[in-house]
Amino acid sequence: MSEMNKSRRDAVKLMLGGLAAVPVLNLVGMTSVQAADLPHVDPAADPTAKALKYVHDAATATRPDKAGTPGANQHCANCQFIQAAEGEWRPCSLFPGKAVNQNGWCASWTLKAG
């Protein structure tokens, strides 16, 4: 095996490793400014939002108690699917490419760990 083949193979491995890391960096590295640029989920038109009963204001939803958390304490900001630590509008992993309101809620709400 020549040195050229080995270094070519190493370069391909490096590129593939870099490509695999891109989606993770996109989620982790998204700033609140970038998140604010995302289109907002439209509860009236988005099929996922309709199916999950998403609303921008959790207080307007009927929120059943879930795993020991009263419905009144459930909102997007404390859900495990929210993708940014701050900002009024943030990405949610259930709505790729869109932002949900930090005070919103949907039927998939799950308490953020930690």
| Residues in contact with ligand SF4 by the rule CB under 6 A | 54, 76, 79, 81-82, 92, 94, 100, 104-106, 108-109
| Shortest reach from residue 107's CB to ligand SF4, in Å | 7
Task: Tell me the DSSP string of 57-81.
Answer: -GGGS----BTTB-GGG--GGGBTT
18 vs 96, beta carbon nearer ligand SF4? 96
The pairing of beta strand 95-101 with beta strand 89-92: antiparallel
| Shortest reach from residue 94's CB to ligand SF4, in Å | 5
31 vs 110, beta carbon nearer ligand SF4? 110
| Shortest reach from residue 52's CB to ligand SF4, in Å | 6
Are the C-beta atoms of 32 and 84 separated by less than 8 Å?
yes
14 vs 51, beta carbon nearer ligand SF4? 51
- Alpha-carbon separation of residue 59 from 8, 26, 69, 76 (angstroms): 58, 31, 15, 12
| Shortest reach from residue 11's CB to ligand SF4, in Å | 39
Are the C-beta atoms of 62 and 74 separated by less than 8 Å?
no
d(CA 41, CA 1): 54
17 vs 68, beta carbon nearer ligand SF4? 68
